[in-house]
Amino acid sequence: MGVKQRVVLITGATSGIGAGIAHRFGQCGALVAVAGRNVERGMEVVESIQRMGTRAMFVEHELKDELAPLRVISEVEASLGPVEILVHSAGWSVFKPTTDVTPDLFDQIFQRNVKGLYFLTAAALPGMIRRRHGRVILISSIAALRGINGHSLYCASKAALDQLACAWAAEYARYGINFNTVAPGMVATPMTAELTADPQLVAAVKAATPDGRLGTPEDIAHAVLFLADDNALHVQGNTIVVDGGWIVPPGGFA
């Protein structure tokens, strides 16, 4: 059936990977709810989708607000209709050696990367169960699959998403709801700007990547769109790695 006229809610959609995903859904005729904290950037994404001739809206979403999940779902469903596809692209990272991590920083990262999406999913599930149809797609990271120096919290929080997809699939697949993750490699976005501004680091990543380039938000959006389509009906609890082969061992074998 594709995603035309289906309602999709995308968190972290005001820039970077999330905005790329929102644009791709808009191009395919979905009804797009752009969720995020930055109203100005969010409205720019909404307006660009509306210029494609499809409906879109912005909904303010603060991951630290414990009352946000029910409000966000309610606002989207009142404006566009039942949320059928939920894409979690919001996330945050900070470089810190483990010995410098404070309990407050630990809580902040897991609040933004895990807790917020957990309860937004919980708010969307009753409707999906009732309709016996839904797609939940979590944007994980290559960091969930390989250690990254100085990013222990980010690695752990993204690995949690992969396991949530598995656990939710075991719990709710019988209701016609699919749960999967997409794990990007290094993608040039505002969140990775500090890293991608280092030409030596970028050159090293490209050299270690079989297809020789960094990823783009569009690369990630294509994988998300596949998982949102009914052609992926039998894909459950899986992670699609979109990294140009960065995770492949040198020479292609261990």
Which of the residues 118, 154, 172, 175 is marked catalytic?
Answer: 154
CB 145 within 8 Å of CB 102: no
154 is catalytic: yes
Give the span between the Cα atoms of 230 and 52, in whole angstroms.
23
Going 69 to 70 to 75 to 80, the CA torsion angle's sign is positive
Instruction: Tell whether the torsion through CA atoms of 194, 196, 198 and 200 is positive or negative.
Output: positive
Burial class (CB in 10 A: 0-12, 13-18, 19+), 8: buried
Q: Which residues pair with 107 in a beta bridge?
A: none
Contacts of range 19-22, beta carbons closer than 8 Å, 24 or more positions apart: 19/45, 19/217, 20/216, 20/217, 20/218, 20/220, 20/221, 21/87, 21/89, 21/217, 21/220, 21/221, 21/224, 22/49, 22/56
Paired tokens of 27: 């191009």
The DSSP 8-state label assigned to residue 185 in this structure reads: -
Pairing of strands 56-60, 85-88: unpaired
Active-site residues: which are they? 154
